[in-house]
Structure 1
Amino acid sequence: MLPTIAAAYPLDGYVDTGIRRVEGSRLANEGVVKDRLSQVPGALLTTKEVDIRLLDHKDFQIPEADPQLNAQIKKLLGQHADEYGIAVLDLTDMEHPRYGVHRGDHKQNVGSVGKLLVGLGVFQAMADVWPDETKRLDVLKNTLVTADKISQYDHHTIRLFNPETKKLTRRSMKIGDQGSQWEFLDWMLSISSNSAAAMNQRQGMLMRQYGTDFPPSESEIARYFKETPSKEKTALYKQTFWEPVTRNGLDIEQFRQGSFFSRNGKFAVNGGGNSYATANQLLQFLVKMEQGELVDEFSSRQLKRLLYLTEHRIRYASSPALRKSAVYYKSGSWYKCKEEVGFKCRAYQGNVINYMNSVAIIESPEAEGNLYYMVVVISNVLRKNSAVEHQTLATRIHRLMKQAHPVKNASVKK
């Protein structure tokens, strides 16, 4: 399993959140800190500009599929159409929304896209324990999380930034690494750290278990996971990460995260099931987030801001056509190879399975027509570089949206 993402909180968010990586990224973009990452225009929105957009459309429902858009999407997929599940929702003109879909109910393991449900579970637990938003902000910013063995192990690197020394380090998470609850959520969604995801799964369960006595001491955490019977831990896991799916109007049979994201996490807790999603259900997740219906407006807004892409753009999000657009993104992959004459196994080009999954909200500036649309792509095209395939598809879908909403030329003064 090789899941990855590029995303993160807006660059001006450090003062409010205390997410040190965000400050490091901001200073790097200003040339104060040395870093290989430079931000594209679409990554420079302020926190205030990153907001949920369907609060005034609480009654919005995804419309019936548009036959013309369906046909256009299928044509883009070409001969591999039956190896994709895709859903596109064009909300640029809210008076005339368009929905295009192909194999929208096709279900497969979506890898790191399942981290969306980890985020949902954590925010649901916080809202249940602390209804007051001020207290939730305090928990996010001031709860100190220390990585334990549940975090191990992960090949993904996290960005560790020291605001005092201005030193930036990238490496895998180690036992003993510390950060706030907000920073662990950011690490999970900014570079798809499996270690951070597992720690967030631990944290969500602890919130449910200890309630207003959260956080327990490190010794109590170790005791709980060591001594609690396996069935009780599985029940708590499901309460934390399965129940919120149904509570928030989603279908657990179409979107589920069935286990921890780390090997040691799986040893500590049996999640109780497989992981999977469909394009249609992932699209529903995005719509509910934009409506402020994932837990509540506070949680939906924070989830969207955590998905705002201010890290290196990869896969679908790396399309040059999206440089000027704000992109809210999650990606996940899983490829597997076997020996085959004339075939060499490479990343994202499996010949047994080659899952690639992308979830994106695109918001383009006025100069590009104020485009506003959502895309979910699930694919399993064997032997093809699926990262490149998704990038190419992003360019073509963006072109379709621009054709549907051409920018009106300014009148010429005589």
Structure 2
Amino acid sequence: MTTSLRVFLTILIALFATAEQSVYPIDGYEETGINRLLRLQRIVNGEIDAPKPPPGAQKSITDIRLHLTDARGDSLSGLPEPDPQLQKSVRDIFPTLDESYSITLLDITPGRTIKYAQLKEKRGYQPGSVGKLAVLAALFNELDTVFPNSFAKKQELLRTKKVMAGSWGGYDEHEIPVYDPETGTFENRRVKESDVFSLYEWTDHMLSVSNNGAASVVWRESILMRVYGKEYPQLTEEEANRYFKTTPKKELSKIAMAIVNEPLREIGIGNEEWRLGRLFTSGASQIIPPSGGSIGTPLGLMKFLIAIEKGEFVDEKSSLEMKRLMYMTDRRIRYAASPALTDAAVYFKSGSLYKCQQEEGFKCGKYMGNVYNYMNSVSIVEQPDGRVYLVCLMSNVLKKNSASDHFTLASRIDKLIKSNS
């Protein structure tokens, strides 16, 4: 073997090795500038000694795609009639569980007939943090008012526009990962009013760790995009603050609720199927009063997931980017933590809300409310064997943390999707 051939083969082998190690965090950092993803890249590469993401979280960004942009999606102008076999299998899961459990399940595995099942699909719940998906939709809807003809410019704005939390981001116990690429320092902590992140990072904080302050900040910026349009990229912090101080609260509330709810109506989600009526932090709610209340149903949430897979939020590129932002590369919890999903790509959002009151013989705990105790899980699951299915699971089991039940249900649902092939 000549020296030149040996060098060529060495380079080729190195390139293949790099490709095999290339996971979504690596691709994601290059495209978004989200520092959390750079840290995960360095963990996967062995530069940082920390637990690696599960196999299912190591999908390449180029492998993430939409599954219903073709004729199969066209057939889903509305939800199909429940498949008798799948419907029976779903009903068989729930008799021993609390009666509040509600679900919609859609198998869209390529090469198979689409199958649907449902249980109490129209029952309304407080959506909790699942509502942050509506904020995600609002963001991409309003980005289109700023740069209607260029997805590249939308991404550039998300990556380069830096905004401060202010009072919108405070009073939230959900910690965010803060990583400094230059010093290598890392900490999980609460949002500070002085925090400055890019729009991409605020959106990631909103979804990956479900930070309420981040959700209020993203909602705020979506309002400013609606108001200022093409002038938004040059908008200063002082100008933005002046707008919120001088605009009547009633007008602010009307604009805010329209921004998050209009995109849902446009894809056929009814007002009683899913709506938001309150920002996610007390600081933000003091600036923009709540209006209309919040509600979610498994039916409305399933319509949302289908719309993403069909590429109906603005356009296919925007819908795909929304799906990428839902891809779980951080710690998996509740439904997504099931061992049955370890090797699966999971696009996920969980939400909970609970309230306690004094009751003899009962001690309140986290996620154990006796007044209400909502826990909701929304998932797109892609298994290595080719199975693809969508799940919207909602519950209101009083006095009990239902995380373990959601965890167990994920395994049982994955098994029945496999057996109903």
What TM-score do the two structures reach when normalised by structure 1?
0.91
Which is higher, the Rg of structure 1 or of structure 2? 2
Is 2:136 the counterpart of 1:119? yes
- Aligned partner of 1:155 in structure 2 is 173
**What is the correspondence of 1:130-145 to structure 2 with a 5 Å cutoff?**
130-131=147-148, 132-145=150-163
User: Is 2:59 the partner of 1:45?
Assistant: yes
Q: Describe the SS at the equivalent of 2:95.
A: helix
1:403 equivalent to 2:403? Answer: no
CA distance in structure 1 between the aligned counterparts of 2:302 and 2:331, rounded to whole angstroms = 23
Residue 370 of structure 2 aligns with which residue? 351
| TM-fit CA distance, 1:100 | 0.8
Answer yes or no: is 1:293 the counterpart of 2:309. no
Aligned residue in 2 for 1:33:
48
Which of 357, 380, 398 does residue 396 from structure 2 map onto?
380
C-alpha separation in 2, matches of 1:65 and 1:318: 27
- 1:372 alignment partner AA: V
Deviation at 1:22, TM superposition (A): 0.7
Contact 2:24 2:58 in 1 (8 A): no
Q: What displacement does 1:41 show?
A: 0.7
Amino acid at match of 2:300: Q
Q: How many aligned residue pairs are there?
A: 394
- Is 1:336 aligned to residue 355 of structure 2? yes
Residue 44 of structure 1 aligns with an amino acid whose one-letter code is Q
Task: Report the residue type matching 1:268 in the other structure.
Answer: I
Q: Is 1:323 the counterpart of 2:342 in the alignment?
A: yes
1:411 aligned partner: none
**Mapped partners of 1:149, 1:76: distance in 2:** 45
Identity rate, percent: 41
Aligned runs of 1:193-232 on 2, under 5 Å?
193-215=211-233, 216-232=235-251
Q: 1:195 to 1:9 in 2, by over 3 A?
A: farther
Q: Secondary structure at the match of 1:48?
A: helix
The aligned counterpart of 1:391 is: 407
1:232-243 matched pairs, under 5 angstroms: 232-243=251-262
Consecutive unaligned residues in structure 1, runs of 5 or more: 1-7, 406-414
Residues 160-203 of structure 1, C-alpha deviation per residue, up to 9 Å, x if partnerless? 11111222121011011111111111110000000100000110
Q: Which piece of structure 1 moves more, 354-363 or 130-139?
A: 130-139
Question: 1: CA distance between counterparts of 2:269 and 2:172?
Answer: 30
Matches for 1:64-79 after TM superposition, within 5 Å = 64-79=81-96
Letter in 2 for 1:160: V
- Distance of 2:75 and 2:321 partners within structure 1: 21
Alpha-carbon deviations, 1:82-115, whole Å to 9, x = none? 3111011011255411111000001110100000
Is the 8 Å Cα contact of residues 375 and 395 (structure 2) preserved in structure 1?
Answer: yes
Structure 2 residue runs without a partner (length 5+): 1-22
Question: Please, what TM-score do these two structures have when normalized by structure 2?
Answer: 0.90
Q: Aligned partners of 1:399 and 1:243: how far apart in 2?
A: 37
Superposed displacement of residue 70, structure 1: 2.0
The residue that corresponds to 1:87 in the other structure is 104
Paired residues of 1:12 and 1:23 also in contact (CA < 8 A)? no
8 Å contact kept, 1:145–1:180: yes
| Cα drift, residue 68 of structure 1 | 2.6
Match of 1:129 in 2: 146
* Selected match of 1:181 from 180, 199, 212: 199
User: 2:29: which partner in 1?
Assistant: 14
Conserved 8 A contact 2:354-2:367? yes
Higher helix share: 2
Whether 1:311 and 2:325 are equivalent positions in the alignment is no
Give 1:389 shift: 0.8
| Cα separation, partners in 2 of 1:160 and 1:9, compared to 1, 3 Å | farther
Quote the Cα distance in structure 2 between the aligned partners of 1:343 and 1:311.
Answer: 34
Residues 205-227 of structure 1: per-residue CA shift (max 9 Å, x gap): 00011111114211111111111
* Alignment RMSD: 1.7
Secondary structure at 1:122's aligned position in 2?
Answer: helix
Mapped to 2, the partners of 1:14 and 1:93 lie a distance apart of: 30
Deviation, 1:50, is 1.2
Asked whether the equivalents of residues 162 and 199 of structure 2 are also in contact (C-alpha less than 8 Å), the reply is yes
Residue range with higher mean Cα deviation, 312-321 or 214-223: 214-223
Q: Distance in 2 between matches of 1:124 and 1:164?
A: 34
Q: Pick from 273, 278, 286 the counterpart of residue 292 of structure 2.
A: 273
CA contact (8 A) 2:24 2:60 kept: no
Q: Secondary structure at the match of 2:390?
A: strand
Higher RCO structure (Cα 8 Å, ≥6 apart): 1
Q: Matches of 1:235 and 1:354 in 2, distance apart?
A: 29
Shift in Å, 1:34? 4.2
